[in-house]
Amino acid sequence: MLSWAQKYCRHEIVGVVTEVGSKVEKFKVGDKVGVGCMVGSCRSCESCDNDLENYCPKIILTYAAKNFDGTITYGGYSDIMVADEHFVVRIPDGLPLDAAAPLLCAGITVKFAKALGAKVTVISTSPNKKQEAIDHLGADSFLVSRDEEQIKVQAATRTMDGILDTVSANHPLQPLIGLLKPHGKLVMVGAPEKPLELPVFPLLTGRKKIGGTFFGGMKETQEMIDFAAEHNITADIEVIPIDYVNTAMERLLKADVKYRFVIDIANTLKPSL
Amino acid sequence: MLSWAQKYCRHEIVGVVTEVGSKVEKFKVGDKVGVGCMVGSCRSCESCDNDLENYCPKIILTYAAKNFDGTITYGGYSDIMVADEHFVVRIPDGLPLDAAAPLLCAGITVKFAKALGAKVTVISTSPNKKQEAIDHLGADSFLVSRDEEQIKVQAATRTMDGILDTVSANHPLQPLIGLLKPHGKLVMVGAPEKPLELPVFPLLTGRKKIGGTFFGGMKETQEMIDFAAEHNITADIEVIPIDYVNTAMERLLKADVKYRFVIDIANTLKPSL
């Protein structure tokens, strides 16, 4: 049986091109490239036509999905990989491969928001993340979500244009909606298993919105990577060998990593004979 | 004690101008005008600057609110009314006063949507509203929200760009979100008292949004009224005398009206001596 790590952690893949097909136009041998969450889509529906292959009903995910020819996709736990050039992004020279990998799925919200020119407040349950959020990530301010008084004071000023909600656990939306300006947006990127409680009245009286989004289309993803290179945005990572993966999973569940493990497949995976 | 009707039903007011102040520029005696949900706001905050006085933190509602001078606003149960010209809309000549009044708050969704060029599906709990929705209101199709099979078939095609949800009772959002295209919007205009259950995952996988809105700003409201006049959109009404108001309330609670009562204050309210 596959372990949790084997099943879920293989869709942010980077490497160097070793071979290209005769019709490939975007890449040549030696290029630094990446593959994210998907490796195929229909290429003809409304979503695909709008460079949003990620919402194609026939999307092929990078692992544990079926290719159009019936074969199974195996993801990134491999020393080589074959992919359609459309679903491959270019990693610009300025970006180290290992620290670019985690950009392909989760991104790093605070660094991007600052580079985009936003005033950024980090909202967290734990007050002890404050210094790191401000000193290391570059946030402008910090709010403890469990501190009702602090949230109330902040909500009275209604200063936030948008909130990116990355929490995957059950949590109250009302205080977050209260922080938003009129017409503000709360964008969910975490996926709590059970439905959350949605207070409707505050949406009406502030013409506010709640939206959701997951990984981007290929065009958006390439733009994001290029933007990261331009602004020197990289993920904070700890590079590990493949045989450390189960230990890494245990540490991940204890939140004992800052902030991403990256597996060095090329140097540590022994090809089966 | 005020009855429910006395408290809540007096904010969609139409009439004819009988007198104007010396600095009034927008109106003259004899003009047909209306007053909606608000009669004042600060005129200097970000919302007011953007013609969205309806989201001003200092908004003065049309009834049971405090004017800046400390007096109370009394709404439309009166044979005369004094209002700031900024919060008065012009009723164009083509629009009958009585059938225009209900446009000032709730509007009439299907007729507007059709006039705006949308393909309109009415979603209702009761199948017996189908004929009226299609023949009288002009909807293109009809969907019974309690018919799980019908909803499932429709959801499989994901054809809706947006849904206006006018339901004020508790109801499931999941089937509605399922009907939306990727990037579709569910806009709440009803205000259920208790929080609704919000399934987050379908928002993420379809990059969908849930928003809310209530009455418009003065500019939006004038645009809406002008649009209604241009496209001959009027509300379906039953005109009643003021002394019928409690009976009307009883009928309203039984949904026994198509679709709005309008009180003829001018001809039936006896001024107190």
A106/A104 Cα distance (integer angstroms): 7
**Which residues does chain B have within 8 Å of residue A201's beta carbon, measured at their own beta carbons?**
191, 212
Q: Nearest-CA distance from A267 to chain B in Å? A: 35
Q: Nearest-CA distance from A131 to chain B in Å? A: 31
Give the residue from A51, A185, A200 with the most B CB atoms within 10 Å of its CB, the best one to mutate. Answer: A200
Nearest to B265 by CA among B250, B237, B236, B244: B244
From the list B182, B195, B213, the residue facing A199 with the nearest CB is: B195
**Do B83 and B114 share a structural domain?**
no
**Do A203 and A124 share a structural domain?**
yes
Q: Nearest-CA distance from A204 to chain B in Å? A: 4
CB pair distance less than 8 Å for A208 and B211: yes
Alpha helix stretches (DSSP H) within A94-253? 97-100, 109-115, 130-131, 148-157, 174-179, 201-206, 218-230, 245-253
A134 domain-assigned:
yes
Assess whether pLDDT exceeds 50 at residue A1. Answer: no
CA distances from B16 to A230, B79, B82, B98 (A): 63, 11, 12, 12
Name the residue range of residue A154's domain.
109-212
A269 domain-assigned:
no
A6/A76 Cα distance (integer angstroms): 10
CB atoms inside a 10 Å sphere around CB A135:
9
Q: Nearest-CA distance from B56 to chain A in Å? A: 9
**Do B191 and B234 share a structural domain?**
no
**Do A251 and A119 share a structural domain?**
no
More confident residue, A171 or B8: A171
From the list A174, A190, A211, the residue facing B209 with the nearest CB is: A211
Per mean pLDDT, which range of A53-67, A204-218, B3-17, B198-212 is the poorest? B3-17
End-to-end CA distance of chain A: 21
* pLDDT 10s digits, B162-189: 999 988 889 999 999 999 999 999 999 9
**Do B85 and B33 share a structural domain?**
yes
CB pair distance less than 8 Å for B210 and A201: no
* pLDDT 10s digits, A16-33: 999 999 999 999 999 999
* pTM for the whole structure: 0.84
By the 8 A CB rule, do B19 and B85 touch? no
Cβ–Cβ contact B198 with A under 8 A = yes
Q: What is the complex's ipTM, to 2 decimals?
A: 0.81
**Do B232 and B204 share a structural domain?**
no
CA distances from A102 to A36, A39, A234 (A): 9, 17, 9
CB pair distance less than 8 Å for B204 and A182: no
Average pLDDT over residues B134-157: 85
**Which residues does chain A have within 8 Å of residue B189's beta carbon, measured at their own beta carbons?**
204
